[in-house]
């Protein structure tokens, strides 16, 4: 699976409000920098709570991985960074430019 495929899978899970599937994409030691919170989320429980609130707020994302930057690091590890648009249905469909990064 390519880094781009993982980001697309994340987007699909998010847009389908599939909490179980999206959490399966996060390592037990993952850290999440949330779009709308001023702190890092470090535990699985915190990350789950963040997504539950987002899904209850009718949130969705628009991702274009063609604009992402993917780099292979030593040890067959990949870093992909890029932007996405975070849409909040609970705020009349307001859109927010956001950023992601993923190691795999």
Q: Are 84 and 98 in contact (CB under 8 A)?
A: yes
Between the alpha carbon of residue 17 and those of residues 48, 61, 90, the distances in Å are: 12, 11, 14
* Dist CA 33 CA 39 (whole Å): 7
- pLDDT tens digits, residue range 4-61? 999 999 999 999 999 999 999 999 999 999 988 889 999 999 999 999 999 999 999 9
Residue with tokens 């920098």: 33
Structure tokens belonging to residue 76: 């067959």
Q: Give the global pTM.
A: 0.91
Domain extents for the chain? 3-103
- CATH match for 3-103 among 2.70.170.10, 3.90.76.10, 3.90.1510.10, 3.10.450.50: 3.10.450.50
Q: Are 57 and 36 in contact (CB under 8 A)?
A: no
């Amino acid at each position: 699976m390519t880094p781009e495929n993982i980001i697309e899978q994340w987007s699909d899970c998010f847009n389908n409000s599939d909490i179980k599937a999206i959490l399966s994409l996060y390592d037990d030691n993952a850290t999440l920098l949330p779009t709308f919170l001023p702190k890092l989320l470090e535990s699985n429980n915190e990350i789950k709570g963040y997504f539950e609130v987002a899904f209850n707020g009718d949130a969705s994302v628009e991702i274009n991985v063609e604009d992402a930057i993917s780099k292979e690091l030593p040890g067959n590890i990949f870093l992909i960074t890029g932007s996405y648009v975070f849409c909040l249905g609970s705020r009349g469909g307001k859109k927010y430019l956001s950023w992601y990064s993923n190691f795999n």
